[in-house]
Structure 1
Amino acid sequence: MADQRSLPIPNGLEGERLDAALSRLFGLSRTRAAELIASGDVLVDGSTAAKSDRVQGGEWLDVTLPPPPAAPMPVAEPIPGMAILHEDDDIIVVNKPVGVAAHPTTGWTGPTVIGGLLGSGHQVATSGAAERQGIVHRLDANTTGAMVVAKSEHAYSHLKRAFKERTVDKLYHALVQGHLDPLRGTVDAPIDRHPFGDGRFAVVAGGKESVTHYDTVEAFRAASLLSIKLETGRTHQIRVHMSALRHPCVGDMLYGADPTLAARLGVTRQWLHAVSLSFEHPSTGEWVGFTAEYPADLAHSLKVVSGDS
């Protein structure tokens, strides 16, 4: 069913192109916003407008948003190389391989953690949307490392609350270009979708609070290995914050990494790994922690960059 939205143009968007204003207001890509305008699904003060028209604060916007496409259901099939770090009646912790999404999403046709667990005969909680049952947090498809999935309904509720209240300790390692100054610090910069609407995220005024703490573990000639703790868990948070510091993760072409350095180190995706995950166990109340070893590609590139230094 289509979603009808009516609202005034905020004064903060005064002078923006109509397609850009729609993109910011509704989280659409600029292309999708332009399509809605062209199809007559966008009215400004009751009249159709062109995508390049400049909006004025206080103008009335009527938008007909089509229903979102249904998310695909997980395909239950085992995933070779997805190691189980821990399993009990409440939780299962995996070392997620590269190229595996947490759960199905529109446009993703590759393997998923939830599908891999179901395909290997593991039970997961039935709470949450059907396509992401048991999922309490996510890692990007090309970010590897420790990830917990809820098996019991009690664990699902407990862990969802723990992640929301930021009582989970998440430690990442990232190999970034160059050397940070200072060697240890905090990035406190809001993140939202990139204004270009191209799938990237960016530091944006008025975005969601995002806090990243980093510490240099080892500095090499061309890059630095960082230990990173997150207070918040925004999409692409580490990648966006490191790029904003002009030290993108090695291999992260989406956020401005040097392809020459990536090729020399044999890195074909962002060098980012969720090293460990610690939280209060949903049933015992005990503080538990799990560590995930580097996958072969990251370990190899680290050896190469170390040998170059």
Structure 2
Amino acid sequence: MIVSDNNDGIRLDKYLSLQYSEHSRSYLKNLISDGKVTVNGKEVLKGSFIVSAGDEIEFELPPVQELSVEEEDIPLDILYEDNDVLVINKPKNMVVHPAAGHSSGTLVNAVLFHCKGNLSGINGVLRPGIVHRIDKDTTGSVIICKNDKSHQSIAKQLKDHSINRIYHAIVYGIIDNDEGTIKGSIGRSTVDRKKMAINEKNGKPAVTHYKVLKRFSTDKMTYIACKLETGRTHQIRVHMASIGHPLLGDEVYAGNRKTKFKLEGQCLHAKILGFVHPTTGEYVETDAPLPEYFEHLLEILK
């Protein structure tokens, strides 16, 4: 390809990202550093290389690798199941679907075995049946769709914010109000791209309603229930941190706060999940019991 006049003087990685918007800039940067891009017949190894009008750029995209997910016989805590949907009480440390660094041991690997492949295909080969997800260290209810009809129905309910989702959490500090509502658009942090943050300019609207269940004055912590009106990435974690009450054990949003308890990630559990059944039209609600570590922690705090 030949660099046009209006692209004169820009970085090589930016130029390629403009020409191939379907690929991420980091992916194209890796192609450059791997020596797969030439400018005027010469290998260029830095994405910061400045291109000029008339430069001839050549490179070849590597062939796409076919990805597959293997079935795995992993025990599941099933809260509800019929021919259309499956609701699982996900344990801690389980990733919902395969991703970089997590090709096995995921919830998808487990439900593929359990459902014998009878899952919706709308989200592709890596996320069959998955219509929503929760973090690796968050426990509780996840709904799996067994066919495309149920997937479309549940996805619409999620989009319309009509699904009843209530989480239980323990947060740092004593919350004075018995209940409250947090409103703040959530998007990528402008300071740390690995984190989410309140981002009114580029974020998506998010609303969390919280209610105090118990206060622990000695340890200065509060046990709360959070009802999601929307479902943004890390919503409860970001919203609670934004009002000065980050989740206990949250290694990302709790800052320098330390705890004497040995925890694996945030103390957050998706307890109630209610939805309109895709076929019967009846309301279905599941209640995932608190995990053992959570119950034990509440006993200690009492």
- What are the equivalent positions in structure 2 for 1:1-309 lying under 5 Å apart? 39-40=46-47, 73-80=68-75, 82-109=76-103, 111-122=105-116, 123-206=118-201, 207-221=203-217, 222-256=220-254, 260-261=258-259, 264-306=260-302
Provide TM-score, normalisation by structure 1.
0.75
Distance 1:45 1:218 in 2: 64
Give the conservation status (yes or no) of the 8 Å contact 1:218–1:224.
Answer: yes
The CA deviation string for residues 73-126 of structure 1, in whole angstroms up to 9 with x for no partner, is 43321223x301111000001000111111112333452111111123443222
User: Tell me, what secondary structure is at the counterpart of 2:161?
Assistant: coil
Q: Which 10-residue stretch deviates more, 119-128 or 182-191?
A: 119-128
The CA deviation string for residues 130-186 of structure 1, in whole angstroms up to 9 with x for no partner, is 111111111111110011100122101111111111111100001000112333111
Distance 1:155 1:43 in 2: 50
Percent of aligned pairs with the same amino acid:
33
Q: Which 10-residue stretch deviates more, 35-44 or 113-122?
A: 35-44
Distance 2:87 2:238 in 1: 26
Give the conservation status (yes or no) of the 8 Å contact 1:144–1:274.
Answer: yes
Q: Which 10-residue stretch deviates more, 185-194 or 109-118?
A: 109-118
Q: Alpha carbons of 1:266 and 1:301: their partners in 2 closer, same or farther (altered >3 Å)?
A: farther
Give the conservation status (yes or no) of the 8 Å contact 1:30–1:197.
Answer: no
The corresponding residue for 1:55 is none
How far residue 302 of structure 1 moved from its aligned partner, in angstroms, is 1.5
Distance 2:115 2:292 in 1: 26
Q: Alpha carbons of 1:162 and 1:121: their partners in 2 closer, same or farther (altered >3 Å)?
A: closer
Distance 1:270 1:136 in 2: 23
2:190 partner amino acid? P
User: Tell me, what secondary structure is at the counterpart of 2:176?
Assistant: coil
How far residue 294 of structure 1 moved from its aligned partner, in angstroms, is 1.0
Give the conservation status (yes or no) of the 8 Å contact 1:187–1:241.
Answer: yes
RMSD of aligned alpha carbons: 3.4
2:262 partner amino acid? G
How far residue 39 of structure 1 moved from its aligned partner, in angstroms, is 2.7
Distance 1:165 1:127 in 2: 19
Distance 1:183 1:164 in 2: 29
Give the conservation status (yes or no) of the 8 Å contact 2:186–2:199.
Answer: yes
Unaligned runs of 5+ in 1: 1-5, 8-18, 47-63
Distance 1:73 1:275 in 2: 31
The CA deviation string for residues 245-282 of structure 1, in whole angstroms up to 9 with x for no partner, is 11110000111256642xx3332210000001001000
Higher Rg: 2
User: Tell me, what secondary structure is at the counterpart of 1:120?
Assistant: helix
Large movers: runs of 4+ above 4 Å: 28-38, 41-46, 69-72
Give the conservation status (yes or no) of the 8 Å contact 1:266–1:297.
Answer: no
Provide TM-score, normalisation by structure 2.
0.77
Distance 2:268 2:226 in 1: 10
1:154 partner amino acid? K
Distance 1:94 1:162 in 2: 18
Distance 1:151 1:144 in 2: 21
